[in-house]
Amino acid sequence: IPLPHGTCSCHCCAVRLYFFFPLPCRNAAETRALYERYKPTHVIHLAALVGGLFKNIKYNLDFWRRNVHINDNVLHTAYEFGVQKVVSCLSTCIFPDKTTYPIDETMIHNGPPHSSNFGYSYAKRMIDVQNRGYFEQHGCRFTAVIPTNVFGPHDNYNIEDGHVLPGLIHKVYLAKKNGTALTVWGTGKPRRQFIYSLDLARLFLWVLREYDEVEPIILSVGEEDEVSIREAAESVAEAMDFKRELIFDVTKSDGQFKKTASNGKLRRHLPDFKFTPFKQAVKETCDWFCANYAIARK
Ligand code: GDP
């Protein structure tokens, strides 16, 4: 199912831009039919099987197989249709588990990923391998971005399978309704850099229009903006005016302790880009979820 399509919003160029959802791209013939129907010149490739830590732990094989199929369908069909540019989406969770910090774009293939999400990580790393291959063999401008932990309106708020912020927002909503405490999974000590989906969308369009390299670029707030899971939970509680106790369930996995990424390359290109302050973005997201509870994906 292609999402909003049409010409790019700057109105000065005739970019035909399409977003793809995962389902059609799992099948080569359906993917081809999409390209035939819309004839995109530029593609932002967001199609993937994704999930939070706990879904990854359960389905590593599925994450590997489905993402490899999707990526090969989207990229190879783009090549066959002469698409001018593809921007694919990786993630900072694909970097080596044992590494030095901050992580940067040169380190993707330097060692095994964290065992909790090896299927997703290796599948996503192969996008970078494919991009290099399409450039060297065919001169294609296919690149990739590496966002940190994304959150915002329209996210997947499923508690078991979703990422930490939407999961916590949903849990606080229920805890308020039921008059119970909030259970945060793990110790609350791991650290994450969160990026607001609306900021990420603006950066995606910049990459599509201006960024000319095949090598990926990390899209992240600064290292100084990294927060602990406890701080993230407290921000959600504050935004939703939740006053009860926070309980840390240490029987649940912490996952990777941190994956602190450098946004040095982004800052060299875009020194003045303004990220939405974390607390403001959390508040907007919580307000969206409460106002749209009936229709939110959960
Ligand atoms: P990750 O950033 O790729 O590891 O994935 P997540 O967005 O799922 O974040 C996982 C981190 O948040 C781990 O340290 C979890 O222990 C912690 N966490 C705390 N509460 C929750 C929750 O309700 N859902 C999820 N997904 N993670 C939680």
Q: What is the CA(253)–ligand 1 centre distance, in A? A: 8
Instruction: Please determine, for residue 242, whether its predicted confidence score (pLDDT) is greater than 90.
Output: yes
**Over the stretch 245-254, which tens digit does the pLDDT of each residue have?**
999 999 999 9
Predicted pLDDT at 14: 42
The answer to whether 15 and 41 have CB atoms below 8 angstroms apart is: yes
Work out the pLDDT band at 50, boundaries 50, 70, 90.
confident
Instruction: Please determine, for residue 3, whether its predicted confidence score (pLDDT) is greater than 60.
Output: no
Q: What is the CA(230)–ligand 1 centre distance, in A? A: 11
The total number of residues written for the chain in this structure: 298
Q: What are the catalytic residues?
A: 120
DSSP H helices, the chain, are: 22-25, 28-38, 53-58, 60-80, 118-138, 164-178, 197-210, 229-239, 264-269, 278-291
SS3 of 105, please?
helix
Report the alpha-carbon distance of residue 273 to residue 46 in Å, rounded: 23
**Over the stretch 184-232, which tens digit does the pLDDT of each residue have?**
999 999 999 999 999 999 999 999 999 999 999 999 999 999 999 999 9
Task: Give pTM, 2 decimals.
Answer: 0.90
Cβ < 6 A, ligand 1 pocket:
52-54, 93, 149, 163-164, 167-168, 171, 184-186, 190, 192, 229, 252-256
The answer to whether 201 and 130 have CB atoms below 8 angstroms apart is: no
Whole-number Cα distances in Å, 81 to 37, 41, 281: 11, 9, 38
Which tokens belong to 247? Answer: 């309980």
Predicted pLDDT at 227: 97
For ligand 1, mutation pick of 146, 164, 168, 171 (most atoms within 8 Å of CB): 164
DSSP-derived pairing of the beta strands 227-228 and 191-192:
antiparallel
Q: Which atom of ligand 1 is nearest to the CA of 163?
A: 7
**Over the stretch 130-176, which tens digit does the pLDDT of each residue have?**
999 999 999 999 999 999 999 999 999 999 988 999 999 999 999 99
Q: Averaged over 87-100, what is the pLDDT?
A: 94
**Over the stretch 104-136, which tens digit does the pLDDT of each residue have?**
999 999 999 999 999 999 999 999 999 999 999
Q: What is the CA(163)–ligand 1 centre distance, in A? A: 6
The answer to whether 199 and 208 have CB atoms below 8 angstroms apart is: no
Residue 262 backbone dihedrals phi, psi, to 5 degrees: -85, 135
